[in-house]
Amino acid sequence: MRTQVGIVGAGPAGLMLSHLLHRAGIESVILENRSRDYIESRIRAGLIEQWASDLLVETGVGTRMQHEGMFHNGVYFAFGGALHYINFRELVGKGVTIYGQQEVIKDLVARRLADGGTILFETSDVSIHDFVGRAPKIRFRHEGGDVELACDFIGGCDGFHGICRPSIPATALTAYDREYPFGWVGILSESPPPEHELIYAYHERGFALYTMRSPTLSRLYVQCAPDDDIENWPDARIWHELHARIGGTRKLAEGPMLQKGITAMRSFVVEPMQYGRLFLAGDSAHIQPPTGAKGMNLALADVSVLARAITEFYRNGRSDLLERYSATCLRRVWKAQRFSWWMTQLFHLDATHNAFDRKRQLAELDYVTSSEAAMRSLAENYAGLPVEI
C-alpha cells in the first residue's frame, strides 16, 4: 500500500490534517485503532476558538456546527457570591463556539469518506519505521492481515498515549512537564442551562465549571483530588458540591447524569515536534489542563501549519516550512500552555494554599474582571491567538 502522507490517529488532528491535505490535492491514509462508533461518541472537548470555527466553515465542514453550535460572546467568572461577565466580542471582536468534539469528529469523518478518503478503523499493532530517511513506512494489522503502508511523511496524530512520540529516540526530545495536585470530576446532565454562557467558579470548596452541549444538556465539572476515584463521587455528592460552588450565583437544575468521569490535570510539551519525516501534532506533542479549553484548538492549529508546509513541499519543492514546523507551532503552543496554567492557578485551591493565597487569587479575579487591559488580554487568549501558517 502507498500514499503520500500516512496519518496515525483519527482525532481532530489526524482527521483535519487529512481533510486539509485532500483540499490541496494530496493523498493520505488514516490509521485508527478504535472503531468509528467509539471515536464518534467519545465525550471530550466542547469549546472552539473563533479562528478554528472559521476554519471549519471555510473548509466545508462547519455547516452542522453553524446550525447546532452555540455561539458565545463572552464568559462569566463567579467569585465572592457574584457573577462577573467578560465580553470578548466587545473587547477583541471575537467569540467562541460550543460544539462537542465528537460532533466535529462526526463531521470530519463523514466529509473524508464522502470525498473518497481512506480511514482504516480498528487497526492494531501500528508501528512506524524509516522516518529518518526519505521512505517512511507504517506497519499494522487490519482485518486479520499484516499491512505495510509506504509514504513520504508521517503525521503523528495519535494523542498523548500513542506510539509516535515514543518511537523517537528519547535523547532527541526534551519534555517539559507539570502535574497539578487536583483533577476534575466531569458530568453530562440532562438539564437546562442556568445561564446562556459558561461560568468558571472560584470557591473556597474548590473550582467548578458550568458549560453545556445543547439547550437541554449541561456539562459540569468540580475540582477533586488528583488520584480520586469516581466511586467516591455518588451523584448526590456531585450535585451538593455544584450547588455549593456555583449555586450562590445561579440556580442549577438537577437532571439524570448521562456520563461521569475524572480528568487528570497535566501540562506537557515535547520539543521538537518533528523527527526526520515524522511530524507530531496535537496531544501527541502537548497536553494542558482543560481550564483554558485549548486542547482541540491546538490540535487544529498544528495541522493547519503542517498541511500548509506539506502542500508547499509538493507544489513548489519547498522544505523550509517543514523545517520550521516545530518552531512555528511551539511559539503558539507555549502561549496556550501559559494561558491554561494561568487559568488553572487562578481558580484552583490546593493543600499548599493558605489565607494569603486566597486573598491573592481574589485580588487577581477582581483585577481581570474590572481592568479593561486585563480583560482584553484574557479575551484575546481565550477566544484564540492567531495561527501563523
> Which residue, 141 or 359, has its beta carbon nearer to ligand RFL?
141
Q: Which stretch binds ligand PHB (CB under 6 A): 40-48, 155-163, 230-238, 277-285?
A: 40-48
Annotated catalytic residue 221: no
Nearest to 267 by CA among 281, 282, 287: 287
Residue of 275, 294, 325, 348 marked active site: 294
> Which residue, 70 or 91, has its beta carbon nearer to ligand PHB?
70
| Percentages of the chain per state (helix, strand, coil), in multiples of 5 | 40, 30, 30
Residue of 275, 290, 325, 348 marked active site: 290
Q: How far is the CB of 336 from ligand RFL (least distance, A)?
A: 9
The three three-digit cell numbers of residue 220, written as one number: 459540569
> What single-letter amino acid sits at 101?
Q
Could you say which of ligand PHB, ligand RFL, none residue 157 binds, taking C-beta under 5 to 8 angstroms by partner kind?
Answer: ligand RFL
Query: Contact 97/70 with Cβ under 8 angstroms?
Result: yes
Contact string (CB under 6 A) for ligand PHB, positions 183-222, x = contact: ---------------x------------x-------x---
> What single-letter amino acid sits at 82?
A
Count other C-beta atoms under 10 Å from residue 83's C-beta: 17
Contact string (CB under 6 A) for ligand RFL, positions 58-97, x = contact: ----------------------------------------
Q: How far is the CB of 267 from ligand RFL (least distance, A)?
A: 12
Query: Contact 362/79 with Cβ under 8 angstroms?
Result: yes
Contact set for ligand PHB, span 275-314 (CB under 6 A): 290-291, 293
Which 3 state secondary structure label does DSSP give 287? strand
Q: How far is the CB of 279 from ligand RFL (least distance, A)?
A: 12
Query: Contact 309/325 with Cβ under 8 angstroms?
Result: yes
Which member of 21, 32, 189, 269 binds ligand RFL (CB under 6 A)? 32
Q: Does 47 bind ligand PHB (CB under 6 A)?
A: yes
Pairing between β-strand 145-150 and β-strand 199-201 as defined by DSSP bridges: unpaired
Which member of 159, 193, 206, 384 binds ligand RFL (CB under 6 A)? 159
> What single-letter amino acid sits at 189?
S
User: Cell match 485532500: residue?
Assistant: 22
Contact string (CB under 6 A) for ligand RFL, positions 269-308, x = contact: -------------xx------x--xxxxx-x---------
For residue 74, what are the contacts with CB-CB under 8 A and spacing of at least 6?
85, 86, 87, 88, 89, 90, 95, 197, 379
Contact set for ligand RFL, span 126-155 (CB under 6 A): 126
Contact string (CB under 6 A) for ligand PHB, positions 218-257, x = contact: -x--------------------------------------
The three three-digit cell numbers of residue 240, written as one number: 451538593
Nearest to 103 by CA among 79, 141, 67: 67
Could you say which of ligand RFL, ligand PHB, none residue 101 binds, taking C-beta under 5 to 8 angstroms by partner kind?
Answer: ligand RFL
Give the separation between CA 344 and CA 290, rounded to whole angstroms. 8
Residue of 22, 72, 137, 348 marked active site: 72
Give the separation between CA 265 and CA 149, rounded to whole angstroms. 36
User: Where do contacts with ligand PHB occur on this chain (CB under 6 A)?
Assistant: 45-47, 198, 211, 219, 290-291, 293
